[in-house]
Amino acid sequence: METETVYLNGQYLPLADAKISVMDRGFLFGDGIYEVIPAYSGQLFRLEDHLERLDNSLKAIRLQNPHSHEQWRNLLTKLLKKDLDQSVYLQITRGVAPKRDHAFPQNVTPTVFAMVSGITPHADPDNGIKALSMEDSRWKLCHTKAITLLANVLLRQEAIDHDCAEALLFKDGYLTEGAASNVFAVIDGILVTPPKSSAILPGITRDVILEIARKNNIPCSEQAISTDDMKKASEIWITSSTREIIPVVELDSEKVADGKPGPLWKVFYKLFQEYKQSLR
């Protein structure tokens, strides 16, 4: 097997050789942020949007971006293969401090890491995933793409333990998002998704879907969605950069409509693939 090349602090090297100190603030405190960017045939998808979100995450944790957008493009493109669809994971932590202390260390260089993995969209028109509704137990800064993902990990694992592929999260009786995805529903014929706020990550795939809906005059709305609203949904989807758009066909052991991917999902699946192709 070919050895995977990763980027770490200015160097491209085999994954097995990429090592960081146990004093890294990412390891000790989860003090860092990340991005996940799809790349189709070596072309980074909506890179400017992802880099803008990266800027916002860095600002939120009071770290300077170590690279310009152009430097990021060059740095990440070198990891990609032109004949594959892949996703780039990049992470920046506050770096390696001399001692474990909550306060920010002075004059420390951030740790910058990036790696790629394969990407395969859900394309099965006959099947979707099962999901589990759960109380959103996360913190108040969910719009920041922080590496501190323990709550998300526990929520996703609980969903998996119930034979479900995703946890749909509710705060005070209203839908926020998935453990690692945004959520859309079709309610009374309208495509709806919760509005942007600090309770959700502003997903890039979410933006693309709203753009596609508006361009094609498909009724859509960013609005609060209650647990009761969700029971009326004729379709539910989760969206993310690596999973694109996946239909949820069962929620809390109840079928969504007839338990098959819905007609609007099929329309959006096609439109999303066409949009991707147009950028290759």
Ligand X SMILES: Cc1ncc(COP(=O)(O)O)c(C=O)c1O
The residues assigned a catalytic role are: 145
175 interacts with ligand X by CB under 6 A: no
Number of chain positions touching ligand X (CB under 6 A): 13
Residue 204 as a binder of ligand X (CB under 6 A): the answer is yes
Among the listed residues 47, 58, 201, 248, the single contact to ligand X using CB under 6 A = 201
Among 79, 131, 134, 180, binds ligand X (CB under 6 A): 180
Nearest residue (CB) to ligand X, 115 versus 257: 115
Nearer to ligand X, 93 or 181 (CB): 181
From residue 65 to residue 104, what is the string marking binding to ligand X with x (rule CB under 6 A)? ----------------------------------------
Shortest distance, position 250 Cβ to ligand X, whole Å: 21
Output Rg (C-alpha) for the chain, integer angstroms. Answer: 19
Q: How far is the CB of 90 from ligand X (least distance, A)?
A: 13
Best CA proximity match to 236, nearest among 268, 208, 207, 199: 268
Subset of 7-36 contacting ligand X (CB under 6 A): 36
**Residue 167 is a binding residue for ligand X (CB under 6 A):** no
Kindly state whether residue 240 participates in binding ligand X, applying the rule CB under 6 A: yes
Minimum Å gap between C-beta 245 and ligand X is 10
Q: Tell me if 146 contacts ligand X by CB under 6 A.
A: no
Of the CA atoms within 13 Å of residue 63, those in its CB half-sphere come to 27
Q: Is 165 in the site for ligand X (CB under 6 A)?
A: no
Q: Look up residue 265 and give its two tokens.
A: 């999902």
CB of 46 to ligand X, least distance (A): 9
Least distance between ligand X and beta carbon 118 (Å):
16
In which residue are the tokens 């097995």 written?
A: 16
- One of 24, 136, 177, 235 touching ligand X (CB under 6 A): 177
Asked whether position 251 contacts ligand X by CB under 6 A, the answer is no
Q: Minimal distance in Å, beta carbon 150 to ligand X?
A: 13
Q: What are the DSSP calls for the chain, one per residue?
A: -PPPEEEETTEEEEGGG----TTBHHHHH--EEEEEEEEETTEETTHHHHHHHHHHHHHHTT---SS-HHHHHHHHHTT--TTSEEEEEEEEE--B-SS--SSPPSS-PPEEEEEEEE------TT--EEEEEEE----S-TTS-BS--HHHHHHHHHHHHTT-SEEEEEETTEEEEETTBEEEEEETTEEEEPPPSTTS---HHHHHHHHHHHHTT--EEE---BHHHHHT-SEEEEEETTTEEEEEEEETTEESTTSS--HHHHHHHHHHHHHHHHH-
> Using the rule CB under 6 A, is 182 a contact of ligand X?
yes
Binding positions for ligand X, rule: CB under 6 A: 36, 177, 180-182, 201, 203-206, 239-241
